[in-house]
């Protein structure tokens, strides 16, 4: 079905958009609903924008990099995050009482930052669960704790060149798991 949808959209046939909606509307809506959080009033506009983005950017889809569903999911996620940011900015700048209160602006921004970091941490933990404990520790030490390869080499007893190769293989493994 994906091949047919892609083919029709590339040829700018409206049938492709109809098939896309039939096949993926529920998925797109679920992603948007999850990422918009308390800003559900923007959901319909966001979904429409996602469908338009898919229509306009179909030539950028590469089946060798990921599945069509994952590509749609990524577009949906990032569009929803953009809409959430816009909604927060509107709330901060337009809501009476907020424009004169730096404390409330700061509080709202901190709340959003906390939720964002909490969601990001959760996603990273889920992603790293695909790895064995040794690989997971290397990824955490290098990417999250900021250790240099030389420091990790001293801790693990592996050569830095081996660590560099290992990190490359781990990244490939993670890409395949997504």
Work out the mean pLDDT of the chain and round it to a whole number: 82
Last residue of a domain, one of 36, 67, 94: 94
pLDDT tens digits for range 90-146: 776 655 444 444 445 555 555 555 666 676 677 777 777 878 889 888 888 887 788
The reported pLDDT for the residue numbered 77 is 92
Same domain, 4 and 85: yes
pLDDT tens digits for range 38-79: 778 888 999 999 999 999 999 998 888 888 999 999 999 999
Q: Provide the domain limits for residue 22.
A: 1-94
Let me know if residue 72 belongs to a domain: yes
- pLDDT score of 173 more than 90: no
Last residue of a domain, one of 44, 71, 94: 94
CATH code, 14 = 1.10.1740.10
What does 25-67 look like in DSSP terms, one character per residue? Answer: HHHHHHHHHHHHTT-GGGHHHHHHHHHHHHHHHGGG--TTTS-
Let me know if residue 27 belongs to a domain: yes
Q: Total domain count for the chain? A: 2
Euclidean distance between CA atoms 130 and 78, whole angstroms: 23
The reported pLDDT for the residue numbered 18 is 93
The reported pLDDT for the residue numbered 114 is 67
Rg (CA), the chain: 21
Which region holds residue 146: left if phi is over 0, alpha if psi is between -120 and 50, else beta? left
Let me know if residue 103 belongs to a domain: no
The reported pLDDT for the residue numbered 71 is 92
Counting residues of the chain whose pLDDT is more than 70, the rounded percentage is 82
Let me know if residue 57 belongs to a domain: yes
Same domain, 142 and 69: no
Let me know if residue 119 belongs to a domain: no
Euclidean distance between CA atoms 67 and 65, whole angstroms: 7
The pTM for the full model equals 0.54
Same domain, 55 and 141: no
């Amino acid at each position: 079905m994906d091949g047919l949808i892609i083919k029709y959209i590339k040829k700018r046939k409206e049938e492709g958009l109809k098939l896309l909606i039939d096949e993926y509307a529920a998925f797109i809506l679920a992603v948007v609903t999850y990422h918009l959080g308390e800003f559900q009033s923007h959901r319909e506009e966001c979904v429409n924008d996602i469908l338009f983005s898919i229509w306009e950017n179909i030539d950028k889809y590469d089946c060798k990099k990921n599945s069509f569903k994952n590509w749609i999911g990524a577009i949906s996620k990032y569009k929803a995050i953009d809409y959430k940011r816009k909604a927060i900015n509107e709330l901060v700048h337009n809501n009476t009482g907020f424009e004169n209160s730096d404390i409330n602006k700061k509080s709202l921004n901190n709340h959003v930052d906390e939720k964002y970091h909490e969601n990001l941490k959760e996603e990273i933990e889920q992603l790293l669960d695909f790895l064995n404990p040794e690989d997971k520790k290397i990824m955490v030490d290098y990417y999250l704790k900021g250790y240099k390869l030389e420091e990790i080499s001293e801790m693990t007893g592996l050569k830095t060149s081996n660590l560099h190769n290992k990190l490359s293989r781990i990244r490939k493994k993670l890409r395949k798991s997504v």
